[in-house]
Structure 1
Amino acid sequence: MATIVKHVSPANLARKSSNRACLGKSGRSLQANANSFTPRTAKILTEIAAVRSGQKSIPARQTATIRRTAVGSVRASAAAGADVEEWSKAARLVRQEQLEGQALDVLQKTIDSFERPAFPCALIAGDVVILHLLHRLGALGDDPKVKIVFIDTFHLFPETYQFLKDCEERFGFKAEVFQAAGLKSKEEYVAKHGSDLFITDIDEYDQICKVEPFSRALTSLNVDAMINGRRRDHGAERAHLEVFEDGAPVKVQPLAYWEFKDCFDYLERHGVPPHPLHADGFPSIGDVQTTLPIPPAKWFEYGGERSGRFQGLKNRDGSDKTECGIHVEDAVASSLSPPSSSLSPPSSSLTPPSSSLTPPSSSLTPPSSSLTPPSSSLTPPSSSLTPP
C-alpha cells in the first residue's frame, strides 16, 4: 500500500518553525516568556505551558486559537519597537524617486516624439521643477529642444519679473515673452482698457491679457506639444488629469500625479530656489490683484495651492472662478486659427510694471501677516523653501 506524503512548502515549514520558536520549546520556557508580555498574552502563554506540561487539557481547536493569538501578540510586541517614522520617510523617498523618474521619462518622450514642444511657464513651484527637469535633460540652452513661453499680463508681481531673469540665467534659456496684442506696457494697457477691467469683466480681462497672448504664442511658434505644470491635486477641473491629453496641440502634464509638497521636496533635494513670494505666504502666484497669501497650514490640503487665486471672483455664468482661461478647451482650440496681422510678436525685452500696481479691492484684502506655520505633520520644506 502506497504511503501518502503530505507536501509542506519550504515557506510553510519555515513559518511553522518560527511559530514554534516564538512559543518556546517547553512549558518552562513558555512560562518564563510569559513574564515579558501583557497580562492577556501572559495568561495565554501560561495556559499553553500548562497543557504542554500535562497539567491541563483543552480541545485542539481552542489550542490552535490560543497559539495564533499568542504568536500575533509576540509579533505585535516586536513591531511596537520598530521605527515607523523612518519607514514612512523611506517609503516617501521611494515614491519621490518614482515620480521624478516618470516625469523625466514623460519629458524625454515628448522631446523625442514632437518637433516643436513648448512650455508656458508661470514660475510657480511646479513650473520651476519642470524647468530643472528640462535642464537636466539638456532640452534648454541656445538651441532649445523645448521653447519656454512666458505670458506677461502687465499685472504680475515685480518679484516675478526678476525671478524670470534669475531662472533664465540659472537654467540657460531665453523665454519667448508674449503680451496683450498691440500693447507694450501697463501704462498703454490702462490707457486703453482702464485699471479695473478685472473687476468689471474678469472674462474680458483674461481674454485680453492671458488667453489671446497664450493662443498667439502656440500659433506663432507652431507648437505641437504643450508641456504644463497642472496636477490632479489642484482639484476642480484638474482632478482627473492624465499625463498626456490628445489634441492639437497635445497637452503634456509630467507632474499630473505629484502633490504640491512633492514639488517643494524636489526643489529642496536638488538645491533649486523657488519663487521668492512663496516665503511671503503665496502658494500660487499670478496677477497682483487676484492673488492672495494663504496660511501655510492649508497649502498641502487638496486644492490648497490655488486657494488664494480668484477669491470672490465669478465667471459670466455666475460660477466661481477657478481658471484664468488659458487651460480650457476654447483657449487651446483658438490657437489653431492663424493670428491676425495686427497681433504683436513676442516681446524682445521684459519691463516690470511701474510702481503704480493696482492693489486688491477691499473684497480681496489679503489675510493678516500673522500666518500660522504649517503643522509638523506636513513637514514643509527646509528654511530655504519653507513658507512662513
Structure 2
Amino acid sequence: MIKPEFWSIPGSALSANRLAEKKAALKQRLTDIATRFSDLRFATSLAAEDMVITDAIAKSKANIRLFTLATGRLHQETLEMTQTTENHYRISIAKAYPEDSDIQEFIDQYGMNGFYDGEEAKKACCGARKIKPLNAALLGADAWLTGQRREQSTTRVELNFEEHDDARGIAKFNPLFDWTESDIWAYIKQENVPIHPLHLKGYPSIGCEPCTRPVKQGEDIRAGRWWWLQSDSKECGLHVNK
C-alpha cells in the first residue's frame, strides 16, 4: 500500500525586500496596538502563525502578555514547545487551565471522548477546555491578539485587522490577517523561529491531540481539525463574537 503524502512546510518565493516590508509592518502593527491599550494579551497555540507573532513581540519589546490554553488534551509536543519557546525568548507564557468541575460535567454528560459523537458534544468540550479558560485569561484585558489569517479557511475570508469582540467587550486584533502561508514560513525560516515538531509530521494546524490529525497534500490546511464532522466550519468557538 502506498503511504499518503502528507502536508509539508512550503517553500517561499518571497523576495528579501518584500519579507523585510512584511516584518516592518508587523512590528509597527504590534507597536501601535500596544500604544493604544494598557493591558494587551496574546493567546498562543505555539503553531506557526503564533510563533511569528511571538517572535515579533519579543523583538519589538511591545508590552504584550502571552498566555496559552492548557486544555489537558494537548500533544506532548505542544507542552514541550511551550517550554522551548519560553527558553528561546526568555519569556513567560501563562497557562489558562480549565476548571475541574467543568471537565467533570462534560464527562458526566458525554463521556471522556464524547466529542466524537457530534457537533453539540464537540462544542461542549471546547467550551469547557478552551472558551471558559480563554474568558478567564482575558478578564481585565483591554484587547487581545490572535494568529488568524484570511487564507486559513472559508470562515475567515472576511477577517479584518481590528475587530470588536462583542462577547468579551474588548478590542481584538489579527495582525497576520493579510499574510499568506508562504509569508509565514518565509519569516520563520529567515528569523530562525522555533518550529512546532508536529509541523514536521504533516500537521499544518494544531489543536488538542484527539481532535487533530495530519493533513494529506492538497487537503484544506484545517481539514485535520475535527475531521469526523462534515462541516466547512472548522472552528471551536473561540472566535465567535456573540
Give the TM-score taking structure 1 as reference length: 0.54
- Counterpart CA distance in 2 for 1:280 and 1:114 is 38
Q: Which amino acid aligns with 2:128?
A: I
**Residue number in structure 1 paired with 2:113:** 196
8 Å CA contact 2:154, 2:232 repeated in 1? no
8 Å CA contact 1:197, 1:204 repeated in 2? no
- Counterpart CA distance in 2 for 1:98 and 1:226 is 24
- Counterpart CA distance in 1 for 2:206 and 2:141 is 25
8 Å CA contact 2:42, 2:64 repeated in 1? yes
Identity %: 27
Secondary structure of the equivalent of 1:326?
Answer: coil
**Residue number in structure 2 paired with 1:340:** none
8 Å CA contact 1:150, 1:177 repeated in 2? yes
Q: Tell me the CA shift for residue 279 of structure 1.
A: 0.7
**Residue number in structure 2 paired with 1:211:** 131
**Residue number in structure 2 paired with 1:285:** 206
Q: Please, which of 20, 45, 56 is the counterpart of residue 122 of structure 1?
A: 45
Distance 1:178 1:189, change over 3 A: farther
Distance 1:94 1:183, change over 3 A: farther
Q: Tell me the CA shift for residue 174 of structure 1.
A: 1.4
Would you tell me which structure has more strand in proportion to its own residues? 2
Q: Tell me the CA shift for residue 113 of structure 1.
A: 0.8
- Counterpart CA distance in 1 for 2:26 and 2:158 is 17
Secondary structure of the equivalent of 1:246?
Answer: strand
Secondary structure of the equivalent of 2:95?
Answer: strand
Q: Which amino acid aligns with 1:310?
A: W
Which whole-Å deviations, capped at 9, do the CAs of 1:217-243 have from their partners, x for residues lacking one? 111xx1111111000101222101121
Which whole-Å deviations, capped at 9, do the CAs of 1:329-349 have from their partners, x for residues lacking one? 13xxxxxxxxxxxxxxxxxxx
8 Å CA contact 1:260, 1:305 repeated in 2? no
- Counterpart CA distance in 1 for 2:23 and 2:193 is 15
Q: Which amino acid aligns with 2:21?
A: Q
**Residue number in structure 2 paired with 1:249:** 170
Secondary structure of the equivalent of 2:138?
Answer: helix
Which of the pair has the greater relative contact order for Cα pairs under 8 Å at 6+ separation? 2
Matched, 1:177 2:177: no
Distance 1:195 1:249, change over 3 A: same
8 Å CA contact 2:149, 2:179 repeated in 1? yes
Secondary structure of the equivalent of 1:298?
Answer: coil
8 Å CA contact 1:312, 1:320 repeated in 2? no
Larger radius of gyration: 1
Distance 1:269 1:261, change over 3 A: same
Instruction: List runs of 5+ in structure 2 lacking aligned partners.
Output: 1-11
Q: How many residues align?
A: 225
- Counterpart CA distance in 1 for 2:171 and 2:25 is 18
